């Protein structure tokens, strides 16, 4: 797997209140070694510098939470499996708590919050956690599809059939969101799942990109770039430039993840085991009450 | 160059600034004095941002709305580089403060306030002015009970909303109509109906029909959610009032009341004829504005001067003289019945008391009595033989509880009025807030500070530790003529 990311303040804003992080990491060794990819995009909001505080806390908390969760599972020999969808959800929920607490305790941070799109990849599968109107897309076979649902006022209107996508794009209230990290004590996180295939590209971005560049424009730019074997980092720059030419009214953040042949295991794993004693058989695992698409099985 | 406004300045050569009242969303608000007639005024100094938008609406304000329910604007314009609005000074509280203090108010009072606001809006709408920002902060209830709409035409929607994504302007948003949410420019008369409906709902139930933590959720809620029916929250509300509120909150403008006039006639207790006042019929009697000088609702039969002797009733249609006690004219069938002052049910001619509620009729030559049951005047029968009586512990009262009769009665506790066959009581010593054991009670409910309450035969009255039963009895021994 390869990735590239880029963030830009845009043409109109004074500060960049977006935050992002992408990383690869792995646990275990030998035949038990499992690799993960973690990509976070967060778009902060709030008076003064509060937006930046909100988005950076969001990113840091998610990274820490995912690491701790996986590490704990690794160290705890009794725990042999992981529900990665729940890992993502828990990470965003904790980020919400951290931002919310800070916003309550400091008057200068009152009302601050962030959107967040988080992608966790493992063994040819992607788990996407979503709050707000930042987005994740899948580019596959030349087609671009939005994976996440916008938690925004215009997004709800479009889903309700009251607005078309084109009207939503230019609506004066398109910036109003209905869910955010840090706006209330508990947040409802959407989790999406994707089975990855070689040649797939995942895109995570803030609305500074998706609000300026239409889906067809993004698709064209990326497909042509892939065809010309353009580097991922260059594609990120192209997208940011396109958003700026269209106005650049907001901060622009984009992450691209490329799925290679070797990222997809020949035989899919459904379970993670970190110590030899705690491997569950498929029978044992199937008797447990857990969503089966989030399991990774270790080869015997 | 703009000079900074300060105390002592004179605006428009006429209004002297006395003190700073506060800072509104659009600029400072000062208290001042009109040096021409020495009346107090409120002076709003607009920020430069607001001025831009203000000038767009100056044309509307030139129409200078003049209505008792709309705040009066004396003068506006530029002076010394700043922009000012000079208005009459209002002594009272806005509905936001009242809601904060009381949670909710009675159906009767809420209806009264909404009717007053609708009246004012009706006048504005006829002059093609739409308020656009009806909310509790913009409706004031003065100390004398009058209702005034403020911020008229001044509150305009900003083109570029100063809204952060988290919702800095959520305060106004709760009262916005769905069409305003979807498109700020789509505001018309029915948007004011909706916003007033939200206020009405909140006054009656103490809750907002649409609420959310985030601005985005609030917008979605206004457009898509049906609010809980008012009677689900407060079951004691009348079904008629619920129907009105629900209609005001219809999502589509065409489903609401098309105009303020329609709303006014749709509100319960609408006066039968212009100029007639509604009466307080409940014991808790929150009337708002009782005026003993106003006429009671006219009976169907023409209101003749009180006859000294009744021998027959002339039919207004065919002039035939009918027997006393008839309901219909014997010749032409015309309905001769009047209406009970208390319960509005039909009463046969010459009847002294209503067949349904026992209340004396207008023509009834009846006498009111306070029959002492316990306490100071136990066993005694006090007659209401004057048009105005006072009751209290001080010896100067007509009914005095001095000399140990009842130490718990206040020195000046209650006043009793007699008017056209009815007797009213008013708890006078309302210096204390809320219910006190020393208060005046009618059928167990404290009536202090609630104006004049009409007494009915059989009502229990308590002052301090003394209990009375109120009776209305026929004077003398009348027999019906035949």
Whether residue B389 lies inside any domain: the answer is yes
Whether residue A99 lies inside any domain: the answer is yes
Closest to A197 measured CA to CA, from A272, A125, A119, A293? A125
Q: For residue B167, what is the nearest residue in chain A, using CA coordinates? A: A176
CATH of the domain at A134: 3.60.40.10
Do residues B117 and B147 touch, judged by C-beta distance below 8 A? yes
Closest Cβ–Cβ partner in A46, A172, A178 for B220: A178
Subunit contact B214:A178, Cβ cutoff 8 A = yes
pLDDT class for B479, splitting at 50, 70, 90? very low
Can you tell me the mean pLDDT for A187-212?
92
Q: Which residues of B are catalytic?
A: 133
Q: Which of B45, B68, B88 finishes a domain?
A: B88
Can you tell me the mean pLDDT for B440-444?
87
Subunit contact A176:B167, Cβ cutoff 8 A = yes
Least confident of A206-210, B86-90, B339-343, B413-417: B339-343
Domain containing residue B120: 92-266
Whether residue A41 lies inside any domain: the answer is yes
CB < 8 Å & 24+ apart, contacts of B248-255: B248/B193, B248/B194, B248/B196, B248/B197, B248/B200, B249/B194, B249/B197, B249/B198, B249/B201, B249/B209, B250/B194, B251/B178, B251/B223, B253/B177, B253/B179, B253/B188, B253/B190, B253/B191, B253/B194, B254/B190
Closest to B244 measured CA to CA, from B102, B107, B137? B107
Closest to A63 measured CA to CA, from A85, A91, A29, A98? A91
Instruction: Kindly tell me if the per-residue pLDDT of A130 is higher than 90.
Output: yes
Subunit contact B166:A111, Cβ cutoff 8 A = yes
Whether residue B159 lies inside any domain: the answer is yes
Instruction: Kindly tell me if the per-residue pLDDT of B433 is higher than 60.
Output: no
Q: For residue A151, what is the nearest residue in chain B, using CA coordinates? A: B216
On chain A, the residues whose CB falls within 8 A of the CB of B224 are: 156, 160
Instruction: Kindly tell me if the per-residue pLDDT of B363 is higher than 60.
Output: no
Subunit contact A178:B216, Cβ cutoff 8 A = yes
Strand partners, A237: none
Q: For residue A158, what is the nearest residue in chain B, using CA coordinates? A: B220
**Best-predicted range by mean pLDDT (A273-277, B15-19, B415-419):** B15-19
The pLDDT value recorded for residue A207 is 93
Return d(Cα B155, Cα B25) in angstroms, integer. 10
Number of cross-chain residue pairs from A and B with Cβ atoms under 8 Å apart = 60
- Give the residue with greater pLDDT, A116 vs B29: A116
Q: What is the mean pLDDT of chain A?
A: 84
Subunit contact A153:B220, Cβ cutoff 8 A = yes
Instruction: Kindly tell me if the per-residue pLDDT of B434 is higher than 70.
Output: no
Whether residues B73 and B174 fall in one domain: no
User: CB-based contacts of A21: which residues, under 8 Å, 6+ apart?
Assistant: A38, A39, A40, A59, A63
CA atoms within 13 A on the CB side of A83: 11
Number of domains chain B contains: 3
Q: How far is B259 from chain A (nearest CA, A)?
A: 27
Whether residues B209 and B254 fall in one domain: yes
Can you tell me the mean pLDDT for B381-397?
85
Do residues A95 and A65 touch, judged by C-beta distance below 8 A? yes
Strand partners, B343: none
Handedness of CA B432, B433, B437, B443 (dihedral sign): positive
Can you tell me the mean pLDDT for B407-422?
81
Whether residue A289 lies inside any domain: the answer is no
CA A297 to chain centre: 24
Whether residues B388 and B452 fall in one domain: yes
Whether residues B184 and B65 fall in one domain: no
Q: How far is A178 from chain B (nearest CA, A)?
A: 4
Instruction: Kindly tell me if the per-residue pLDDT of B273 is higher than 60.
Output: no
**Best-predicted range by mean pLDDT (A273-282, B3-12, B135-144):** B135-144
Q: How far is B203 from chain A (nearest CA, A)?
A: 27
Instruction: Kindly tell me if the per-residue pLDDT of A277 is higher than 80.
Output: no
Three-state SS for A124? coil
Subunit contact B161:A173, Cβ cutoff 8 A = yes
The pLDDT value recorded for residue B283 is 26
pLDDT digits (tens, 9 = 90+) for A5-46: 999 999 999 899 999 999 998 876 666 677 889 999 999 988
Handedness of CA A50, A52, A54, A56 (dihedral sign): negative
Q: How far are the Cα atoms of A85, A90, A121, A281, A292 from residue A124, in angstroms, in the given order?
A: 14, 21, 7, 21, 15
Q: How far is A41 from chain B (nearest CA, A)?
A: 17
On chain B, the residues whose CB falls within 8 A of the CB of A151 are: 216
Q: For residue B182, what is the nearest residue in chain A, using CA coordinates? A: A173
Q: Which of B73, B88, B103 finishes a domain?
A: B88
The pLDDT value recorded for residue B304 is 37
Whether residue B361 lies inside any domain: the answer is no
The pLDDT value recorded for residue B268 is 78
The pLDDT value recorded for residue A123 is 80
Q: Which of B21, B56, B88 finishes a domain?
A: B88
3-state helix, strand, coil in chain A (%, to 5): 40, 25, 35
Return d(Cα A46, Cα B333) in angstroms, integer. 76
The pLDDT value recorded for residue B454 is 84
Three-state SS for A282? helix
pLDDT class for A292, splitting at 50, 70, 90? very low
Q: For residue A161, what is the nearest residue in chain B, using CA coordinates? A: B224
Return d(Cα A188, Cα A190) in angstroms, integer. 7
Can you tell me the mean pLDDT for A61-75?
82
Q: How far is B182 from chain A (nearest CA, A)?
A: 8
The owner of tokens 């606001």 is B117
Closest Cβ–Cβ partner in B161, B164, B213 for A45: B164
Subunit contact A152:B166, Cβ cutoff 8 A = no
Whether residues B118 and B172 fall in one domain: yes
CATH of the domain at B214: 1.10.510.10
Return d(Cα A123, Cα A267) in angstroms, integer. 10
Subunit contact B166:A46, Cβ cutoff 8 A = yes
Whether residues B207 and B66 fall in one domain: no
Q: How far are the Cα atoms of B261, B310, B356 from residue B278, in angstroms, in the given order?
A: 18, 29, 20
Do residues B127 and B307 touch, judged by C-beta distance below 8 A? no
Instruction: Kindly tell me if the per-residue pLDDT of A278 is higher than 60.
Output: no
Return d(Cα B431, Cα B449) in angstroms, integer. 9
**H or E element that contains B398:** none
Interface residues of chain B, partner chain A, Cβ below 8 Å: 161, 163-168, 181-182, 184, 213-217, 219-220, 223-224
Number of domains chain A contains: 1
Instruction: Kindly tell me if the per-residue pLDDT of B3 is higher than 80.
Output: no
CATH of the domain at B407: 2.60.200.20
Whether residue B300 lies inside any domain: the answer is no
Q: How far is B254 from chain A (nearest CA, A)?
A: 18
Whether residues B191 and B107 fall in one domain: yes
Closest to B453 measured CA to CA, from B299, B280, B288? B280
Can you tell me the mean pLDDT for A228-253?
94
On chain A, the residues whose CB falls within 8 A of the CB of B220 are: 153, 156-157, 178
CA atoms within 13 A on the CB side of B422: 20
CATH of the domain at B84: 3.30.200.20
CA dihedral A255, A258, A259, A261 (to 10 degrees): -160
| Candidates A13, A108, A178, partner chain B, best to mutate (most B CBs within 10 A) | A178
Whether residue A294 lies inside any domain: the answer is no
The pLDDT value recorded for residue B86 is 86
**Best-predicted range by mean pLDDT (A9-23, B368-382, B402-416):** A9-23
The pLDDT value recorded for residue A231 is 92
Can you tell me the mean pLDDT for B234-238?
91
Subunit contact B219:A153, Cβ cutoff 8 A = yes
Instruction: Kindly tell me if the per-residue pLDDT of A230 is higher than 80.
Output: yes
On chain A, the residues whose CB falls within 8 A of the CB of B223 are: 157, 160, 162
Whether residue B302 lies inside any domain: the answer is no
Can you tell me the mean pLDDT for B76-86?
80
Least confident of A52-66, B183-197, B317-331: B317-331
Can you tell me the mean pLDDT for A158-176?
87
Subunit contact A45:B165, Cβ cutoff 8 A = yes
**Best-predicted range by mean pLDDT (B170-174, B305-309, B380-384, B471-475):** B380-384
Return d(Cα A287, Cα A284) in angstroms, integer. 5
On chain B, the residues whose CB falls within 8 A of the CB of A111 are: 164, 166-168
On chain A, the residues whose CB falls within 8 A of the CB of B165 are: 45, 113, 175-177, 180
The pLDDT value recorded for residue B476 is 46
CB atoms within 10 A of CB B475: 10
On chain A, the residues whose CB falls within 8 A of the CB of B219 are: 153, 173, 176
Do residues B455 and B371 touch, judged by C-beta distance below 8 A? no
Chain A (206-265) residues lying within 8 Å, Cβ to Cβ, of chain B: none
N residues, chain A = 300
The CA R_g of chain B, rounded to the nearest whole Å, is 27
The pLDDT value recorded for residue B411 is 79
ipTM exceeding 0.85, yes/no? no
Instruction: Kindly tell me if the per-residue pLDDT of A284 is higher than 70.
Output: no
What's the farthest any 2 CA atoms get from each other in chain A? 59
B204: left (phi over 0), alpha (psi -120 to 50) or beta: alpha
Whether residues B74 and B99 fall in one domain: no
pLDDT digits (tens, 9 = 90+) for B186-214: 778 899 999 999 999 999 999 999 998 88
Do residues B22 and B29 touch, judged by C-beta distance below 8 A? yes
Closest Cβ–Cβ partner in A112, A162, A180 for B214: A180
Whether residues B107 and B219 fall in one domain: yes
Least confident of A63-67, A146-150, B32-36, B279-283: B279-283
Do residues A34 and A28 touch, judged by C-beta distance below 8 A? yes
Chain A (49-108) residues lying within 8 Å, Cβ to Cβ, of chain B: none
Whether residue A297 lies inside any domain: the answer is no
User: To the nearest whole percent, how much of chain A has pLDDT over 70?
Assistant: 83
Q: What is the mean pLDDT of chain B?
A: 76
pLDDT digits (tens, 9 = 90+) for B133-181: 899 988 999 998 899 998 765 444 333 333 334 333 445 789 999 988 8
Q: For residue B158, what is the nearest residue in chain A, using CA coordinates? A: A172
Domain containing residue A97: 2-277
- A177–B contact, CB cutoff 8 A: yes
Instruction: Kindly tell me if the per-residue pLDDT of B287 is higher than 70.
Output: no
Three-state SS for B407? coil
Can you tell me the mean pLDDT for B125-140?
86
Whether residue A163 lies inside any domain: the answer is yes
Chain A (112-151) residues lying within 8 Å, Cβ to Cβ, of chain B: 112-113, 151
């Amino acid at each position: 797997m390869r990735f590239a990311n880029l963030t830009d303040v845009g043409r109109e804003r004074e500060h960049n209140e977006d935050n992002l992080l992408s990383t690869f990491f792995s646990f275990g060794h030998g035949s038990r070694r499992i690799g993960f990819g973690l990509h976070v995009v967060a778009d902060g909001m709030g008076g003064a510098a509060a937006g930046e505080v909100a988005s950076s806390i969001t990113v840091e908390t998610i990274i820490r939470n995912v690491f701790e969760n996986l590490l704990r599972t690794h160290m705890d020999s009794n725990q042999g499996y992981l529900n990665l969808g729940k890992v993502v959800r828990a990470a965003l929920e904790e980020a919400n708590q951290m931002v919310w607490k800070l916003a309550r305790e400091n008057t200068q941070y009152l009302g601050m919050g962030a959107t967040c799109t988080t992608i966790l990849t493992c063994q040819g599968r992607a788990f996407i956690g979503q709050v707000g109107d930042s987005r994740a897309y899948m580019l596959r076979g030349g087609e671009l599809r939005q994976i996440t649902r916008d938690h925004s006022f215009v997004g709800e209107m479009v889903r309700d059939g009251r607005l078309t996508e084109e009207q939503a794009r230019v609506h004066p209230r398109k910036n109003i969101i209905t869910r955010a990290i840090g706006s209330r004590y508990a947040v409802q996180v959407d989790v999406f799942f994707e089975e990855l295939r070689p040649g797939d590209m995942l895109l995570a971005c803030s609305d500074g990109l998706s609000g300026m560049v239409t889906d067809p424009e993004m698709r064209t730019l990326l497909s042509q770039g892939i065809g010309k074997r353009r580097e991922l980092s260059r594609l990120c720059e192209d997208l940011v430039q396109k958003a700026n030419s269209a106005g650049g009214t907001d901060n622009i953040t984009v992450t691209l993840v490329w799925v290679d042949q070797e990222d997809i295991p020949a035989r899919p794993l459904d379970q993670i085991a970190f110590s030899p004693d705690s491997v569950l058989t498929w029978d044992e695992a199937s008797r447990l009450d857990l969503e089966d698409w989030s399991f990774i099985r270790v080869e015997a | 160059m703009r000079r900074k406004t300060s105390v002592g300045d004179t605006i428009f050569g006429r209004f002297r600034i006395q003190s700073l009242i506060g800072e509104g969303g659009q600029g400072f608000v000062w208290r001042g004095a009109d040096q021409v007639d020495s009346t107090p005024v409120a002076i709003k100094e607009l920020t430069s941002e607001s001025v831009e938008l203000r000038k767009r609406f100056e044309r509307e304000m030139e129409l200078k709305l003049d209505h008792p329910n709309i705040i009066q604007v004396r003068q506006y314009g530029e002076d010394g580089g700043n922009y000012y609005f000079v208005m009459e000074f209002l002594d009272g509280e806005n509905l936001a403060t009242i809601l904060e203090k009381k949670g909710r108010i009675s159906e009767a009072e809420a209806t009264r306030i909404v009717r007053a606001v609708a009246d004012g809006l009706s006048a504005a709408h006829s002059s093609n002015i739409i308020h656009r920002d009806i909310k509790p902060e913009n409706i004031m209830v003065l100390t004398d009970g009058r209702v005034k709409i403020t911020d008229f035409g001044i509150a305009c929607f900003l083109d570029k909303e100063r809204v952060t994504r988290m919702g800095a302007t959520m305060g106004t948003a709760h009262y916005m109509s769905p069409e305003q949410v979807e498109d700020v420019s789509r505001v018309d008369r029915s948007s004011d109906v909706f916003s007033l409906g939200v206020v009405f709902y909140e006054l009656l139930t103490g809750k907002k029909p649409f609420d959310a933590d985030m601005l985005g959720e609030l917008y979605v809620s206004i457009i898509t959610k049906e609010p809980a029916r008012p009677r689900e929250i407060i079951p004691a509300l009348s079904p008629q009032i619920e129907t009105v509120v629900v209609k005001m909150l219809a999502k589509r403008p065409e489903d609401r009341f098309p105009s303020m006039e329609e709303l006014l006639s749709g509100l319960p207790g609408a006066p039968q004829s212009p100029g007639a006042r509604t009466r307080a019929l409940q014991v808790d009697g929150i009337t708002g504005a009782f005026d003993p000088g106003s006429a009671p609702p006219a009976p169907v039969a023409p209101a003749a001067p009180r006859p000294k002797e009744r021998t027959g009733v002339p039919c207004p249609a065919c002039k035939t003289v009918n027997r006393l006690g008839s309901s219909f004219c014997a010749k032409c069938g015309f309905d001769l019945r009047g209406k009970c002052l208390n319960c509005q049910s039909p009463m046969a001619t010459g009847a002294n008391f209503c067949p349904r509620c026992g209340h004396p009729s207008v023509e009834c030559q009846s006498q009111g009595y306070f029959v002492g049951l316990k306490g100071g005047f136990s066993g005694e029968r006090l007659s209401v033989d004057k048009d105005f009586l006072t009751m209290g512990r001080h010896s100067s009262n007509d009914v005095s509880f001095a000399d140990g009769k009842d130490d718990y009665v206040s020195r000046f506790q209650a006043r009793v009025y007699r008017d056209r066959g009815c007797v009213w009581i008013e708890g006078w010593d309302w210096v204390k807030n809320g219910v006190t054991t020393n208060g005046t009670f009618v059928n167990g409910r404290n009536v202090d500070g609630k104006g004049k309450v009409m007494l009915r035969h059989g009502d229990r009255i308590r002052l301090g530790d003394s209990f009375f039963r109120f009776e209305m009895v026929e004077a003398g021994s009348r027999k019906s003529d035949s």
